[in-house]
Amino acid sequence: MAHVVSLFRYPIKGFEGERLDCVPLEYGKGFPGDRAVAITRSGTAAGAAPYQQLTTNPALVHFLPGKSLGAATLHERQPVPRGDLLTDPELLAEFFGAQSRVVHRNDCLGHWDFDDSALSIINVRTVQALSTLMGVTIDPMRFRGNIYIDAEPFSEFGWLGKGVDFGQSRLSIIRPIKRCRATSVNPQTGEVDMNIPAQLNRHFGHMYCGVYAQVEQAGSLQSGDRISSTQAHYGERLAIAAKVPRAPALTTWPRPAEVVEIVEEAPGIRSVWLRDPLAMLGSLDSFVAGQHVAVHHLTTDGTWRRYTVSGIEDDRLRITVKQGSGAGSQAIHALKTGQWLHLTGPSGPVTFGLDAPANLFITAGIGITPTITKLTALVQARYPHPVRVVHTVKCSDDLALWDEVTKLVGQLSQGAIALHVTEGNSEIEGAINYRPDISALVTDAAERGAAIHVCGPEGFQGQIKNSVVQADAVDRLHMDSFATPDSPVEMRKIPECGPFQVTFSRSGVTASWQPTDGTLLSFAEAKGMVLPAHCRAGICQTCECAVLDGKIIPLIDAGSAKSGYALMCASVPGTDISIDC
Ligand code: FES
Residue 484 pLDDT > 80, yes or no?
A: no
Phi, psi of 181 (to 5 degrees): -65, -20
Distance (Å, whole) CA 398 – CA 334: 19
Give every CB contact of residue 337 below 8 A, 6+ residues apart in sequence.
259, 260, 261, 262
Give yes or no for a contact between 439 and 467, defined as CB atoms under 8 angstroms apart.
yes
User: Ligand 1, residues 347, 491, 534, 545: which to mutate, most atoms within 8 A of Cβ?
Assistant: 534
**Ligand 1 centroid from CA 567, angstroms:** 6
DSSP letter at 274 equals E
Distance (Å, whole) CA 249 – CA 471: 39
pLDDT band of 124, cuts 50, 70, 90: very high
Quote the Cα angle for 570-573-577, to 5°: 125
Residue 488 pLDDT > 60, yes or no?
A: no
Say how many C-beta atoms besides its own lie within 10 A of residue 211's C-beta: 27
The per-residue pLDDT for 346 is 93
pLDDT in tens, 266-276: 999 999 999 99
The per-residue pLDDT for 486 is 55
Overall residue count recorded for the chain in this entry = 581
pLDDT in tens, 319-344: 999 998 889 999 999 999 999 999 99
Distance (Å, whole) CA 523 – CA 527: 6
The per-residue pLDDT for 489 is 59
More confident residue, 181 or 569: 569
Nearest Cα to 419, choosing from 440, 439, 395? 395
Domains of the chain with CATH codes: 3-243 (2.40.33.20), 251-347 (2.40.30.10), 359-479 (3.40.50.80), 500-579 (3.10.20.30)
The per-residue pLDDT for 126 is 96
Residue 562 pLDDT > 80, yes or no?
A: no
Nearest Cα to 445, choosing from 476, 414, 418? 476
Interhelix angle 402-410/369-380, rounded to 10 degrees, is: 20
The ipTM assigned to this model is 0.99
Mean pLDDT, range 110-136, rounded to an integer: 93
**Ligand 1 centroid from CA 163, angstroms:** 38
The per-residue pLDDT for 269 is 97
pLDDT band of 490, cuts 50, 70, 90: low
Closest atom of ligand 1 to 533 CA is 1
Start-end of H helices in 28-172? 89-96, 124-134
**Ligand 1 centroid from CA 566, angstroms:** 10
**Ligand 1 centroid from CA 362, angstroms:** 22
Mean pLDDT, range 406-430, rounded to an integer: 90
User: Ligand 1, residues 351, 541, 572: which to mutate, most atoms within 8 A of Cβ?
Assistant: 541
The per-residue pLDDT for 188 is 87
DSSP letter at 295 equals E
Phi, psi of 175 (to 5 degrees): -165, 140
pLDDT band of 12, cuts 50, 70, 90: very high
Distance (Å, whole) CA 254 – CA 347: 13
More confident residue, 476 or 361: 361
pLDDT in tens, 572-581: 999 999 999 9
Mean pLDDT, range 451-475, rounded to an integer: 89
Tell me whether strands 477-479 and 500-504 are parallel, antiparallel or unpaired.
unpaired
Ranges 49-53, 59-63, 387-391, 487-491, most confident: 387-391
**Ligand 1 centroid from CA 483, angstroms:** 9
User: Ligand 1, residues 567, 571, 572: which to mutate, most atoms within 8 A of Cβ?
Assistant: 567
pLDDT in tens, 495-515: 889 899 999 998 888 999 998
Nearest Cα to 180, choosing from 564, 544, 528, 551? 528
DSSP letter at 304 equals -
pLDDT band of 487, cuts 50, 70, 90: low
Pocket, ligand 1, Cβ cutoff 6 A: 533-536, 538-543, 567, 569
What per-residue string of b and e applies to 101-113 under the rule 16 or more CB within 10 Å gives b? ebeeeeebbbbbb
Mean pLDDT, range 217-226, rounded to an integer: 97
Cβ neighbourhood burial of 95 (10 Å; 0-12, 13-18, 19+): middle
Mean pLDDT, range 67-96, rounded to an integer: 86
The per-residue pLDDT for 44 is 57
Mean pLDDT score of the chain: 90
